[in-house]
Structure formats: C-alpha cells, structure tokens
Amino acid sequence: MELIDRYLQAVKFSLPRAQRDDIIKELRDSILSQIEEKEAALGRQLTKDEQVELLKKLGSPMHLASRYGKQQHVIGATMFPIYWRVLKAALGLAFLVQAGASIAMAAAGKPFIQSLSPLLHYPSVALSVFGWVTVVFAAMDFFGAKIQVSDRWDPRKLPPLVKSDPRKSRFELIARLVIQIIFGVWWLAGLHYQYLIFGPGIALLKFGPVWHSIYPVFVVIVLVDVMFTAVMIARPHWIQGRHVALLVMSALGLVVLYFLINAPEVFVASDPSALQSQELVKSINYGIHIGLMIAAIVNVINIGKEAMRLIGWSFGRASQASVGS
C-alpha cells in the first residue's frame, strides 16, 4: 500500500488546507474499497502494476486535487471581452507612440540606430501595458467594481449599419486609392522638385529646411495611408479598421505639425536679397503658424474623438457579446 500512500500524499500537497485531511480520508477509503473488491474477485493481492493502473485511472495527483478547488480566474467571463478589446487598443496605441517617437527622432536627424531605439523597446513597453491593463481589470473584477454591461447596454448606441452595397463602397475606395497614390507621388516628388508644388510661385518662395528634415515622416504617411485604403478594399466592412486608420493618420499628422510649428521658418524667400519678398514670406509664415496651431488643436480633438469612438465601438461589441452570451 506504499504506492497508494505516496499517491495520496502527492494529492494532499495540492489540496485546500482546510479540507485536506477529510478529502484524503475519503479518497483513501474509496481506493481501498476498489482494491478490496478487485482482490476479492481475483482471489489474490493486486500486483504493483495493477495498483499503478488503478491510480492512473484516478488521474495525476495535481489534476485530481485541482477538481476540489474553486474555479479560479483572474478576469471573469463578463469582464473578459472588454478587457481583451481594451488590451488590444492599448497595445496598438503603445506601438503608435513608440513608432511615432522613432519617426520623430529620425526626422530630427538622430542616428538611425538611436532612432530605432523606441521601436526596439516596444516588447518591454507592451509587457508593461499588458501587466497594467491586466492588473486594473483583475482588481475591478476582484473588488466587484464590474462595469454593469447589461444595465448600461442601450440599443440606441449600437454601431451603425454597414452599407448594404459593398461594391459601391469598394469602388469609392479604389478611386480613393488611385487619388492617394497620385497625390502621394506628387507630394513626395514635389518636396524635392518644388516647382511641381509652387509652379511659377517658386520665384517668390520655397520650402524651409524643416520640410526636408521631416521627409521620412511624409514617406511613412503616404505609405500608411495607401496601405490602409488597400486593406479597406480587401475588407470593406471592417469599420473598426477605418477608425484605426483615422487615428493613425491623425497621430502621424500631429508629428508633422509638431515639427512645422517649432520650425523657425516654414517657407523661405527664394531670393534672400529681395526685401519685399522677404516681408511677404514673413507674413505668410505668420499666417501659416496660426493655421498650424489651429490644425494641431483640431487634430488632437480628432484623435481623442476617434479613440473614444474606437473604445465605444469596442464596448458596444463587448456589450452585445456579453448580452448575447
């Protein structure tokens, strides 16, 4: 019976302390009853292999002990869909911040490796984001401060219906893609060959040095914009993706605005010796500066709105999933 005792000892180790002795006593009786019955039927004692076979049927000690524990989870089923969506949004946002920081550093002329540093640190940032989001949700679950998803659910706040004709929507997106590519090429080429943008006005003014510094950001903006539209063509009903696209583009736009606002001169006079054109460019820069400030404020509001919409959309989906389950 040494084998049975060893098995029960291993089970006992993983049992809830308060019930340990009681459970083991009952299990021992059950195992011994089975052995006695088998031995009576065979007319002999069970061999060690037969005992092993019997214990194997009971399952591993840890598995058997686990059946006595309460079902445990860090985040419950009601909270989990919301947790999952918030976690994904937070991880995505963290990536955008890190990528934005890398782009900003590259645009500011930092060495390539140094510029990559924020992006390379993303795994540790993601781990930290994962930890904090999980801790917050686990605490909400533990202290019973659950969001009353079912009570707050309001049919009037459900996401709008997707257009019924995806072909029309896809056609619009293809047209948009073509325009984006043409505009993107024109803009990126125009930053180098400024006549393409200013036309005859190039005799009066041209881009200041800041535009060349942030050229990589424009390349990223054009590529990301085209990429999002291409994804939308493939998945026209992916509403969440549209919100993500708007959010990413607004965030990249904010990076551009940051550099332009902080630049001493957005435009410079083509002929520095011409006083009149210098005065004109100064006025233009002043007006542009105010415009950029307003654009930055609008952009921040848009980012906030899109982020809220994305989270609201996620909550709406989570609520439906929760109510539907």
Position among 9, 33, 45, 150 found at the interface with other proteins (CB under 8 A)? 33
Closer residue to other proteins in complex, CB, 64/252: 64
Burial of 14 (0-12, 13-18, 19+ CB in 10 A): middle
CB of 45 to other proteins, least distance (A): 18
| The amino acid at 269 | A
26 binding other proteins? (CB under 8 A): yes
Position among 6, 25, 73, 88 found at the interface with other proteins (CB under 8 A)? 25
Stretch that binds other proteins, among 27-35, 113-121, 286-294, 309-317 (CB under 8 A): 27-35
Do 64 and 308 meet the contact criterion of CB atoms below 8 Å apart? Answer: no
Stretch that binds other proteins, among 28-36, 163-171, 272-280, 301-309 (CB under 8 A): 28-36
SS (H, E, C) 83-115: HHHHHHHHHHHHHHHHHHHHHHHHHCCCCHHHH
Alpha carbon of 70 to those of 1, 66, 73, 121, 154: distances in Å?
30, 8, 10, 39, 34
Do 261 and 270 meet the contact criterion of CB atoms below 8 Å apart? Answer: no
Closer residue to other proteins in complex, CB, 23/104: 23
CB of 64 to other proteins, least distance (A): 5
Cα separation, 52 vs 102, in Å, equals 61
Stretch that binds other proteins, among 32-40, 236-244, 246-254, 278-286 (CB under 8 A): 32-40
Cα separation, 165 vs 190, in Å, equals 37
Burial of 184 (0-12, 13-18, 19+ CB in 10 A): middle
114 binding other proteins? (CB under 8 A): no
Position among 58, 90, 93, 261 found at the interface with other proteins (CB under 8 A)? 58
Stretch that binds other proteins, among 24-32, 77-85, 166-174, 255-263 (CB under 8 A): 24-32
Cα separation, 268 vs 280, in Å, equals 10
67 binding other proteins? (CB under 8 A): yes
Closer residue to other proteins in complex, CB, 5/22: 22
91 binding other proteins? (CB under 8 A): no
Query: What are the two backbone dihedrals, phi and then psi, of residue 206, each rounded to the nearest 5 degrees?
Result: -145, 175
64 binding other proteins? (CB under 8 A): yes
117 binding other proteins? (CB under 8 A): no
32 binding other proteins? (CB under 8 A): yes
35 binding other proteins? (CB under 8 A): no
Q: Can you say how many angstroms the Cα of residue 297 is from the centroid of all Cα atoms in its chain? A: 24
Catalog residues that contact other proteins under the rule CB under 8 A. 19, 22-23, 25-27, 29-30, 32-34, 57-59, 63-64, 67-68
